Structure 1
Amino acid sequence: MTDSPALRTALAYHHAWTGGDFELAMTHVCDDIVCLAPSGRLDGAAAFRQFMGPFAQIATRVELLAAFGDDTTAVVMYDTDTVPVKDAPGAECVTVTDGKITWMRIVFDRVPFEQARSA
């Protein structure tokens, strides 16, 4: 499974941000990444950093559930606990070009986070 170029990059990114090194994680993201998140489209590394950086800081536990990939595409699914929300599963589908994540679709349920913010 890890002989997939896209999966190697996706897992390197995942292990970096879940291991507390968001700066290392960002080295796996291209400058002009397009990220489709539940909150909307994010264009560029700066917008992606503003979205994902705070999430990485509030994660208290991340358990990798599955990871699959081929030459250009990888999917990573994980369970996450965060400071405001316990049991917040997520998944990322990425496209990798020249060893960098160029496109990402993040899937997670925003409702528990919105409820925690309004509580």
Structure 2
Amino acid sequence: MTTPAEISEKYFTAWETGDFDTLRGLLADDVDFVGALGRARGAEECIAGLRGMGRILERIEVHARVADDTDVITWFDLHTKGAAPAPTANWSHVEDGKITRIRVAFDPREILAQQSR
């Protein structure tokens, strides 16, 4: 059985490489996402949001990942085009091998400023 930490690692690798088929397979159909730049309900909305961020994503630099039986917190720098890296915390809840909830916290001001130029 795949652990929540392994699922989280696969999630970030798939997002960073643009492998949205793998990413979709890690999400529960009713996944709920809340982040600094929006909210998504359901896997298709979540994938659409991740694709959107993927257009400006340069890389993800993971610094730490802490997990228990159902929850994973990943601390990373979000590197995007034209903005300084954004220190970011991502909490994911995993049930039956799928991510069911995602919460992301970071300061989006530089990313938003870059996008408005």
Query: TM-score of the superposition, structure 1-length normalised?
Result: 0.87
CA displacement at 1:29 relative to structure 2: 0.8
User: Identity over the aligned pairs, expressed in percent?
Assistant: 29
Cα distance per residue 1:79-116 (max 9 Å; x no partner): 12211323122221010001100000011211112211
Correspondence 1:39-50 to 2 at 5 A: 39-50=37-48
Q: Spell out structure 1 runs of 4+ moving beyond 6 A.
A: none
Match of 1:72 in 2: 70
Q: Which residue of 1 aligns with 2:28?
A: 30
**Structure 2 match to 1:16:** 14
Q: Which runs of 5+ in 2 are unaligned?
A: none
- Answer yes or no: is the 8 Å Cα contact 2:32–2:42 preserved in 1: yes
Change (3 A) 1:117 1:56: closer
Q: Is the 8 A contact 1:31 1:44 kept in 2?
A: yes
Unmatched 5+ stretches in structure 1 = none
Q: How far has the Cα of 1:4 moved from its partner?
A: 8.1
Q: Answer whether contact 1:29 1:102 (CA < 8 A) is retained.
A: yes
Q: Deviations over 1:22-53 (max 9, x none)?
A: 22122111111011112343211121112111
Name the TM-score, length of structure 2 as normaliser. Answer: 0.88
- Measure the CA separation in 2 of the matches of 1:23 and 1:91: 24
